[in-house]
Structure 1
């Protein structure tokens, strides 16, 4: 018996519904990956998402953003476009995140500089103008010296700086950068003046490390990962790490806390959006990022790249940024680094 007209319409309607469901990257609640059941925000995302990177293409922040963007696109079922907005020491990109429409279709990979730039007088922008979504990375500052340096731990270095204030030098980045703050904070915590070990500005960790092994400076406070090539080659030695716990990649290097200095400092990255984002959108994005960060694939990617993994959800990330801002302000004002 041939199918009736009503039967044919029913079949056609069912087929069309399946096609639309398969093609939808928007508001369908079924778009999340089966292994990551996140509550979906109604009508989100309405269009492709833009993920702003405040730093140049090819750098560490850019590579993390592109990995996260690709993984997030798969989970949301929509396109995530990574856009580099550079300039002003991070001001341009972070400002672009803060001034975007707060509907979740523009987010960004905020970095530790959001808690530093306004203290430097570069901008009025602060973390309070962002919506925290999730922290995805942290790399603690280290204390690296030449292999033949006459000290084997941080306390010996501090004693040397105390005996001859200003005689020792350190580097790892430009003046007022995160590794400069690590040096200043370590000295202040030890009871010394922030210039007891003088800062020599450099273009980054790599040239500073070259100066270290050549004898041009005495200390690098860049992350141990950035210095690991020379450490592994035996041309430099790590005597401390400014983290709450030892770095699994450097299990023999004690923390500053283990050496009597209750001080931590790290560069970090986290996903954020403009202030005023809907709570359900933030919750969904944070849920997906939780699944990404705690996946074996992310662990492998970050391990290969040499980056540390540190997770904080939206609320914890917001509290963390506030703590970081206060810490940076205190150090920068005391050390004369505030604008």
Structure 2
């Protein structure tokens, strides 16, 4: 179900998609860029659609709502958060790619987008969108339901190998950050697909809900979305894919500490994308506002309370960052036979 959150004065506005005829006219060249550049002087002068690829409740969703509230205060227009889960990010991507490149449609992005561009969609690639800004990084954590009979990564490996096919692990869609993180760990631990089956969900919120309910006993998730469940005693953290231990779970070893050689540079990230071709002045104005958000007291408090790693990247740096991540994804998509 699509969930739309209206901020501030949005109740007095109605967001309208650009008609196809106007989209077609956007190929006319210099005149278009001139009109968009002129509009950048007072951008935005109407509500901005902020499309998410996830269901409500997950880390990306919560961060987006925090960003939307702050952006409204800075830019003076509502940012309308719309959840567009499904189709392994395809529902959201189609809406963004087909929108007018004028800065009035933006969207959430994570490493999952890079994964599905490599493994699922022939029609989408890094060049299909503009990479506007990177916001945070978030190391993957291995969690288990409180009922499972093991308390460490070593015991997990022993248990699943002694009981092949009896355990499953959840995360987001095939080829996503969580899936690749699990694949890296499984390879290092010598766990085969026959011993543990990976169960993909459209959102991290759905995946963790399955873990909390005991439907999927093992999960690859993130610090922010698991912390409350860990504190409530429903989940336990066995390890973290990071160079250093995370402050939220100081007793949980890194995979490397536990003896599993897994590349710690592979991290979840969250950022903002838009339709390809947003004029540079509009894109820079939006990125500048996003950077200002990351410097606000409320945002800093949210990042710290959520145990996220704040890392703002503007359009050029963010584009270079995702290109590097794309190299890792491409390697693992091939190794996991996800491109067939």
- Does TM-score exceed 0.5, indicating one fold? yes
Q: Structure 1 stretches (4+) deviating beyond 6 angstroms?
A: none
Q: Which has the higher strand share?
A: 2
Shift of 1:240: 0.9
Counterpart in the other structure of 2:329? 328
What is the TM-score with the length of structure 1 in the denominator? 0.72
Counterpart in the other structure of 1:103? 102
SS state at 1:221 partner: strand
Picking from 200, 205, 210, the partner of 2:208 is: 205
CA distances 1:189-236 after superposition (whole Å, capped 9, x unpaired): 45654555332456521222332xxxx765322224433345334454
Q: Is the 8 A contact 2:172 2:179 kept in 1?
A: yes
Aligned residues: 294
Counterpart in the other structure of 1:318? 319
Q: Is the 8 A contact 2:137 2:269 kept in 1?
A: yes
What is the TM-score with the length of structure 2 in the denominator? 0.71
Q: Is the 8 A contact 2:139 2:240 kept in 1?
A: yes
Aligned pairs for 1:1-339 within 5 A:
43-45=41-43, 47-55=45-53, 58-60=56-58, 61-122=60-121, 124-145=123-144, 152-155=151-154, 157-158=156-157, 164=162, 166=164, 169-173=167-171, 176=174, 177-190=176-189, 193=192, 195-200=194-199, 203-211=206-214, 219-234=218-233, 236-260=235-259, 261-264=261-264, 265-302=266-303, 306=306, 308-314=308-314, 315-339=316-340
Q: Which has the larger radius of gyration?
A: 1
With over 3 angstroms needed to count, the CA separation of the structure-2 counterparts of 1:90 and 1:228, relative to structure 1, is same
Structure 1, unpaired ranges of 5+: 1-39
CA distances 1:38-67 after superposition (whole Å, capped 9, x unpaired): xx9952416325233233663333442232
Q: Is the 8 A contact 1:69 1:81 kept in 2?
A: yes
Q: Is the 8 A contact 1:52 1:93 kept in 2?
A: no
Structure 2, unpaired ranges of 5+: 1-37
Q: Is the 8 A contact 2:97 2:129 kept in 1?
A: yes
Output the CA distance in 2 between the equivalents of 1:76 and 1:236: 40
- Greater Cα offset, 90-99 or 55-64: 55-64
With over 3 angstroms needed to count, the CA separation of the structure-2 counterparts of 1:277 and 1:58, relative to structure 1, is same
Output the CA distance in 1 between the equivalents of 2:292 and 2:234: 39
Q: Is the 8 A contact 1:51 1:69 kept in 2?
A: no
CA distances 1:245-281 after superposition (whole Å, capped 9, x unpaired): 3222212222223334232444432112222333333
RMSD over aligned CA atoms reads 3.4
